[in-house]
């Protein structure tokens, strides 16, 4: 493990076009649970799996149940950036890190100070009316106990990409360009099982792909350096 950390430090030191690609594991160390974790307690409370509740068709059909899930599982208050978020923001300030590409919707990278953050699945920090598209602050959802409504009568929804919805073309294009141009790609806190997002790392053409995740991923054999550990603990050492 120590040798791998030293290798990571060395590659960071000699690189000046680093891109970070991250998933839920980056935020779990800030106290935000991975909503896909389904256990016995979950089944006592929810009739449907998370992927069903967080789908476009379910939101349209049953906004009351969606918002019950949203308030309990997605709207986590008081979460703070951890060592991974903070170190990535520092690398950006140093001119080394060019982009953070995240599957997370919590805004913690921006809270840590990162500026060029490409949010593949949107963000909970913005909202809009599903009918007239009028923008709303996140508090219009967070401070409403039931289903938040727009002046036009439409349902206000968070600016996130639900299952069955397309990813934003501009965000995808910018992510592809950033990864293609990178001299170092750090992938962290993701099992690389959610597509099309996971497929983006195939655009990397360099020889310094680092994979940091607690468990093995389908890309472990592709990466040039694999570290099975908590990402915050790794970044606290580099």
- Dihedral in degrees, nearest 10, Cα atoms 25, 27, 29, 33: -80
Query: What proportions of the chain, in percent to the nearest 5, are helix, strand and coil?
Result: 40, 20, 40
What are the start-end ranges of the E strands in the chain? 18-22, 97-102, 117-119, 122-129, 135-137, 156-160, 184-188, 209-212, 225-227
121 included as an active-site residue = yes
Identify the DSSP state of 141: H
Give the DSSP letter string of 103-115: S--S-HHHHHT--
Query: Can you tell me which residue has the tokens 């002046």?
Result: 151
Q: For residue 27, what are its two tokens?
A: 């935020």
Q: For residue 178, what are its two tokens?
A: 């950033």
Phi, psi of 83 (to 5 degrees): -60, -35
Give me the sign of the Cα torsion angle 184, 211, 35, 59.
positive
Is-contact 207 129, C-beta < 8 A? no
Q: Round to whole Å and give the CA distance between 64 and 213.
A: 35
Q: Round to whole Å and give the CA distance between 201 and 185.
A: 8
Q: Round to whole Å and give the CA distance between 45 and 22.
A: 29
Catalytic residue among 56, 70, 121, 228: 121
The residues assigned a catalytic role are: 121
């Amino acid at each position: 493990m120590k040798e791998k950390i030293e290798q990571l430090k060395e590659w960071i030191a000699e690189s000046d076009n680093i891109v970070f690609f991250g998933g839920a594991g980056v935020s779990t160390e800030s106290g935000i649970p991975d909503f896909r974790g389904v256990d016995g307690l979950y089944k006592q409370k929810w009739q449907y799996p998370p992927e069903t509740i967080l789908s476009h068709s379910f939101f349209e059909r049953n906004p009351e149940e969606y918002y019950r899930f949203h308030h309990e599982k997605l709207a986590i208050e008081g979460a703070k950036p951890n060592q991974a978020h903070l170190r990535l923001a520092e690398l950006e300030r140093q001119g080394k890190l060019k982009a953070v590409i995240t599957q997370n919707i919590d805004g913690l990278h921006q809270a840590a100070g990162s500026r060029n953050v490409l949010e593949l699945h949107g963000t909970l920090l913005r909202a809009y009316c599903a009918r007239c598209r009028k923008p709303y602050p996140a508090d219009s959802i967070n401070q409403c106990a039931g289903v938040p409504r727009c002046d036009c009568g439409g349902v206000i929804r968070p600016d996130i990409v639900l299952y069955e919805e397309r990813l934003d073309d501009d965000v995808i294009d910018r992510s592809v360009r950033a990864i293609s141009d990178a001299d170092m790609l750090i992938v962290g806190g993701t099992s690389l099982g959610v597509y099309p997002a996971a497929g983006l790392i195939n655009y990397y053409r360099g020889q310094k792909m680092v994979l940091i995740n607690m468990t093995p991923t389908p890309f472990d054999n592709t990466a040039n350096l694999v570290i099975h550990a908590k990402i915050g603990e790794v970044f606290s050492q580099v």
